[in-house]
Chains A and B, each alone.
Chain A
Amino acid sequence: MKNPLDSLWGTVIAGVVLTAVLFVFARNFLG
């Protein structure tokens, strides 16, 4: 599998996905 960080689009999409994951974590698990 190709490393998404090798392409700029892959990097940006990975960043947006990570944002969504962390947002769900922050909203549901942090006080």
Chain B
Amino acid sequence: MENIDIVAALSRWIHFMAGVMWIGLLYYFNFVQVAALKNAGADGTATGITKHVAPRALLFFRWSALVTWLAGAALLGPLFTDAFMLRNGMGPIGIGAWLGTIMLFNVWMLIWPNQKKILGMKPASDDEKNKARRVAFLASRTNTMLSIPMLFFMAGGWSHRALFGL
């Protein structure tokens, strides 16, 4: 077995595990926590979520996003450039890689900095917190939307070549 096969096998394994954690937590935020916080705010129990659950979920969320991307890049290996240039039959997986990269940017540049203000980890006025809530919410929803084509192209990009006429 070539060394490159071992790297690819380990990268694929780590890419899947970290990806499940990342997208799983993304869906938790969007399908569960947003609605739960609305109800919890109404009966005064939101602190339990914002103090004990959200910071821990965000910790695993943002780091698993980075690990997913790095393992994906390692898995692409010498095909990395072809994938991102959408050439040499790497177009479909390249679209998945671009979507994943945009999502990683949203996590670290939009969701996390704004969540720090919302959760009180960074000082912010009420007005700033309200703006941060909207930006973080829309970035998170954007990632949920992008995850749908991202998973289609990631899961089918290479093994379903016939689907794309390749």
Contact = CB atoms under 8 A, between A and B. Distances in A.
B141 A19 contact: no
Nearest to B141: A5
Interface string A1-31: 0010110100110111011001101110011
Contact of A26 (B30, B88, B153): B153
A3 to B, nearest CB: 8
Nearest to B140: A5
A15 to B, nearest CB: 3
Size category of the B interface is 20 to 34
A12 B31 CA distance: 11
Contacts of A25: 95
Contacts of B165: 27
A3 B150 CA distance: 21
B142 A16 contact: no
A22 B145 CA distance: 13
A26 B92 contact: yes
A3 B148 CA distance: 18
B152 interface: yes
Nearest to A25: B95
B60 interface: no
Interface of B: 30-31, 86-89, 91-92, 95, 138, 141-142, 144-149, 152-153, 163-165
Interface of A: 3, 5-6, 8, 11-12, 14-16, 18-19, 22-23, 25-27, 30-31
9 contacts: A11-B141, A12-B144, A14-B145, A22-B149, A23-B152, A26-B95, A26-B164, A30-B92, A31-B88
Given A27-B165, A30-B86, 11 more contacts: A5-B141, A5-B142, A5-B145, A11-B144, A12-B144, A12-B145, A14-B145, A18-B149, A22-B149, A26-B92, A31-B89
